[in-house]
Amino acid sequence: MDALKPSYDIFASPPAYIFIKGKQVPLAPGMTYGSVAGTGDGLLEPGATLPPTPSFREVWEVTYDADPAEPGYSKLAFDENYNLLTSSVRPEDQDEFWPLLDAFVDP
């Protein structure tokens, strides 16, 4: 079992946990999780073009906003091989993201 093939319908309601590298990792209440994109060789900058024969890579994202009244939110994006592509965690959301970040660095 892994984050890419959860045993629950991720679109039915926010999940309480995901699997990263085979490890069950809790999600904080209010975190959202799902597939956000597929690209060629990685995330592309605006205006960039795909290589002639791109390989498809699905991107998954966990987002969280501790205070919706304030602008911005925190997120992590990773691919099917658990390569962390984006880590943009606001200081007030760090405690909620530590279990996820730890799971990415564990072997």
pLDDT digits (tens, 9 = 90+) for 9-60: 545 567 889 999 989 999 999 899 888 866 544 455 555 555 554 566 788 8
Q: Give burial (CB, 10 Å; 0-12/13-18/19+) of 46.
A: exposed
State how many domains the chain has: 1
Location of structure tokens 């890579």: 57
Residue 48 inside a domain? The answer is no
The pTM for the full model equals 0.69
The answer as to whether 49 is a domain residue is no
Q: Could you give the C-alpha distances from 97 to 83, 92, 100, 104, in angstroms and in order?
A: 16, 10, 5, 11
Q: Is residue 107 domain-resident?
A: yes
Position 101 in a domain: yes
pLDDT in the model for residue 2:
52
Q: What are phi and psi of 23, to 5 degrees?
A: -105, 130
Q: What is the pLDDT of residue 67?
A: 83
Give the domain range for residue 104.
Answer: 1-38+55-107
25 to each of 45, 50, 54, 97, 105, how far by Cα in Å? 30, 34, 32, 10, 13
Is 6 domain-assigned? Answer: yes
Asked whether residue 90 is domain-assigned, the answer is yes
- Asked, for residue 15, whether it belongs to a domain, the answer is yes
- Over the stretch 94-106, which tens digit does the pLDDT of each residue have? 999 999 999 998 8
What digits encode the pLDDT tens for the residues 51-95? 554 566 788 899 998 888 888 899 999 988 899 998 999 998 999
pLDDT given for residue 74 in this prediction: 94
Q: Do the domain assignments include residue 10?
A: yes
At 106 the three-state DSSP class reads coil
What 3-state DSSP class applies to 78? strand
Can you give the pLDDT at residue 96?
Answer: 94
